Structure 1
Amino acid sequence: MKDYALSANLGYLFTEHPLVDAIARAAEAGFKAVECQRPYHVPAAQVRQACIEAAIPMLAINTAKGEHGQFGLSALPHATHEARQAIDQAVDYAGEVEAGYIHLVSGITSGSASFDTLCLNIEYALERLQNTEIEVIIEPINTNSVPGYFMSSPQIALDVVTAVNSDRLGIMFDCFHMLHITGSKTALLEAYALLHKKVRHIQFAAFPDRNEPNHNPFSYPALFDSFMASGYDGYFGAEYQPAGSTQASLDWMNEY
């Protein structure tokens, strides 16, 4: 067993339990951090207290997806007001739970106006966070999973971080999404080489169906070793869909 810093994504794992209980279950299972896309249905004070009691940090949260199937608001040119309301909500919540990152979810859109809108909303978020230690992250998501998603390639992510040019903006590198986007482990490694200086968090699940990591066509521990050899020292977030209960799905952790 190796000692990777594993994070449990509570949008996928321990969903059999209320969020506060899921935080404790993740810590008991051996995870070193938790992350949660949308924890807003639970008061932040309760989530923070659960993290304190479990001695586990809340690593990251997402901005809201929107109420009409947009899968995010941050890149939608005609939704700036709603996007910034979502950013304000995330900034306040992340501050209360002491999260490390806020993922600005781009949304289903395209075009240069969407690129400009996303950059402006990121700059707004960074301004809101200027007196905190919280950073902003963006994530390439494959269009098989989310058709039409704006942030759909490593190059778009690189273009955005280059345009915004802030040390407090980074990239979340989801291996499941990257395998769908790039098509192979070799191409995934090429994408990582392109982005690695800005990668703040790595996520993983089996390709192609997002099952338990030990169903992946190649070894994730070996891949993680290569990431760490190139300087990555952050968490690895388990974001998979258990075939049964979460607890019954955790045998893969013995190899990590």
Structure 2
Amino acid sequence: MTDPLSGEDNHAPAADRPAVLVVMDPTDDAAVTAAALQAHNPAMGRITVHPTPVTSSVQTLAHDLLAALGKPLHRLGAEKITSARLAWQAALAWLSGERHQQVVVLRAHLMNETRWASMLEIPTLTSAQLVLIHHAQRLSPAHQRLLSSIPHRITHDITKALPPLHGEHPYEDSFPPSVSLPELPRSDFPHFRAEMFRHLSAEQFAAADTEYTRGVETACHWLTRHPDYHRHAAAALGPRNIVRLHAA
């Protein structure tokens, strides 16, 4: 049952690590904001997002997330990431690829239903736990409704949501060592590998192709975990291949 004042879900799962943690900060305590900002440590697998105020744009939220991840926003146009959907997919892909364990978002009470729905995709499609800092007395009915579909917990204690980080990034050992690569072609994806083969020596191509293959496999792994993957893939392939798709 949900407490109408705090929004606290008395039936929240008892798991040690719920997908979503909501930190209620009804007095908008500056110490809570400071703790969330100080917790930002991408090298250890935790990022803090301070959303751009006075906007309801999901694209701007995606840019805020990419900025928190340390990604160069000025490169988005060159990479043809020009829409809200593409920007959000890019942010989720980076989160998943770098295997961050916690995403902390300030000012969650100011986000509309669409932005909340986007944020709640993070624990569903990546390995990261989502921590929403809610600087208000209570959750709105729309926010409560969205939370009801995902394992979550509500707390008033910021320290419980942001435990100290120890050691290295939890997946540090899984990252490949840095590889020195030659200058690569700037071709689009369908032609990129062929252009590498044409312009690089055999040794350079072998090194670059190893990293390229690793990237493609990582991207495919992330894409096939998306809940809409089979629906979109089946529509693209046509009815004759639906059986083959589901058997894959």
Give 1 or 2 for the bigger CA radius of gyration: 2
Larger helix fraction of residues: 2
Name which structure has the greater RCO, CA cutoff 8 Å, separation 6+.
2
TM-score by length of 1: 0.31
TM-score by length of 2: 0.32
